[in-house]
Structure 1
Amino acid sequence: MSQRHRGGNSAKLNSALKKLTEIAAALSQAANAPPPKSNELDAFGEVFKRVSASKPPYYNGKEDSASLENWIMEFDKLFDAINSPEELKLNNAVYYLKEEADLWWSQRKNDLMTEHNSGWNELKEALRTKFYPTHLRKQKSMEFINLMMGAMSISEYYSKFIELMRFAPEVVPTEALKAQRFEQGLTLSLQGKLGGATFSTLDEVYGRAAHLYGIRGKELEGNSSG
C-alpha cells in the first residue's frame, strides 16, 4: 500500500472520528449533561476505531424487518466482540444510520437523548417502532406460526425456522416451546418416527429429526438402486 493511500485512509478515519466526537459532545449537551472529558473522548475514539475496522453495515430505514433485525444483530455481536461500554454503544451505532433512518434520527435524537437512561437498547426499540410497523410484525409472526416443512429438506426447514423465529419471540419464549413448534412443523412421517418423544431444546429435536431424515434418504437410495 502506498504512503499516499495510507495517508488518505488515516485522514478519512480522523475526519470521521472528529465528527463522531462532535456528535457525542452535542448529544451530551442535549441531555443536559456536561460535555465529555478528555479521557471519555479517548475511550469513545478507541471504540469507534474498533467498530469502524469491522466495517459494519449501514441501515437506511427500509421498511423491511429482515434488514433492520440483521443490522441490529450485527451491532449486538460487534459490541459484544469488542467489549464496548454500554454508554458508548448508541453514539457509535447512529453513525451507521443513513438516508431515511438518518433523517429520522436527526429529528428524534434530542427527544430520545433527554429520556431517562436512553441508550442502545432504547434506540433498538425506537427503530423497531418506527421502521418495523405492527402490520409487518403480525405478518412475520403468522409466517412463523404457519411454517411447515413440506417439500423442504430438514436443513432447509431448520434454516427457515431460525430465520422466522426471531420475528416471533413471544410465540416460542422457551427452548421447550421452540422444540415443540419445530416438531409440529415436521412431516407426519418424521413426527411418527420421533415416536412421541419429548425434547427440551430446539437443537435436540433438530438433531434427532436430521438423523432420521438421513436414514430415510439412504432407504430411498437403496430402493431406487435395487
Structure 2
Amino acid sequence: MGRQTKERNATVAVATKAAVVAANGNNGNDENGGHPAQGQVNANRPMSKLVEQFLKLKPPRFDGRGNTEAAPRWVEELEKAFEVLGCTEEEKVTLAVYRLQENASDWWRATRGQVFPAGTTPTWIIFTESFNGKYFSKSARE
C-alpha cells in the first residue's frame, strides 16, 4: 500500500471515529465503551498531533483576496474539519490563524491584541465575528 493510500486511510479512520462519537451523542459517560463526548475527543492531544490531523484534511488557506463568497466559504470549510477533529474553541482559533496567508495574516497580527487582549481565552465566535467584519461585506451579511 502506498504512502498516500495509508495517509488517506488514516484520515478516514479519524473522521469515522469522530463521526461515530458525534452520532452516538455520547455525554462522556462510559455508556459508549469509554469513548469521550464530542468536543472532548482530543482533550489530551498535543497541538502538533492536532495540526498534523488537521492538515491531512486539506483545509483551505485564506489570503484576504477574492470575491465576497471566499470568506464565508473558508469559515464553513474549516468548521467541517473542526467538527471531525472535535476541536476546542481555542484550538479552532489557533488552526484558523495557521491557515491565514499574506494580507489576512498581516491583518490578524495587527488585530489579534484588540480581539483577544492578554489573558483572554480565544473563542471561535469572537474570531469569526472579527474576521467577518473585515472580510465579509456588509451587504452580503444582510
Q: Give the structure-1-normalised TM-score.
A: 0.40
Distance 1:59 1:85, change over 3 A: same
Separation of aligned partners in 2, 1:70 and 1:133: 13
Distance 1:63 1:122, change over 3 A: farther
Name the aligned partner's letter for residue 87 of structure 1: E
Q: Kindly provide the CA deviation profile for residues 31-78 of structure 1, in whole angstroms up to 9, marking residues without a partner as x.
A: xxxxxxxxx996211211111111111111126331111110011110
Separation of aligned partners in 2, 1:91 and 1:73: 16
Aligned to 1:130: 134
Q: Kindly provide the CA deviation profile for residues 147-194 of structure 1, in whole angstroms up to 9, marking residues without a partner as x.
A: xxxxxxxxxxxxxxxxxxxxxxxxxxxxxxxxxxxxxxxxxxxxxxxx
Separation of aligned partners in 2, 1:89 and 1:135: 27
Aligned ranges 1:20-35 → 2 under 5 Å: none
Shift of 1:136: 3.9
- Determine whether 1:74 maps to 2:69: no
Name the aligned partner's letter for residue 51 of structure 2: F
Separation of aligned partners in 1, 2:116 and 2:44: 18
Name the aligned partner's letter for residue 137 of structure 1: R
Say which SS state the counterpart of residue 59 (structure 1) adopts: coil
Separation of aligned partners in 2, 1:86 and 1:127: 15
Separation of aligned partners in 2, 1:63 and 1:55: 19
**Of 88, 92, 102, which aligns to 1:89?**
92
Shift of 1:117: 4.3
Separation of aligned partners in 1, 2:73 and 2:113: 26
Q: Give the structure-2-normalised TM-score.
A: 0.61
Aligned to 2:117: 114
Say which SS state the counterpart of residue 64 (structure 1) adopts: coil
Contact 1:63/1:132 (<8 A) preserved: no
Contact 2:90/2:121 (<8 A) preserved: no
Q: Structure 1 stretches (4+) deviating beyond 6 angstroms?
A: none
Say which SS state the counterpart of residue 110 (structure 2) adopts: helix
Distance 1:136 1:81, change over 3 A: same
Distance 1:66 1:45, change over 3 A: same
Distance 1:135 1:71, change over 3 A: same
The percentage of counterpart residues that share the same residue type is 23
Aligned to 2:28: none
Distance 1:86 1:136, change over 3 A: closer
Q: Which has the higher helix share?
A: 1
Pick which of 109-118 and 97-106 moved more: 109-118
Which of 1 and 2 has higher RCO (CA within 8 Å, sep 6+)? 2
Long gaps (5+) in structure 2? 4-42
What is the RMSD computed on CA atoms of the aligned residues? Answer: 2.5
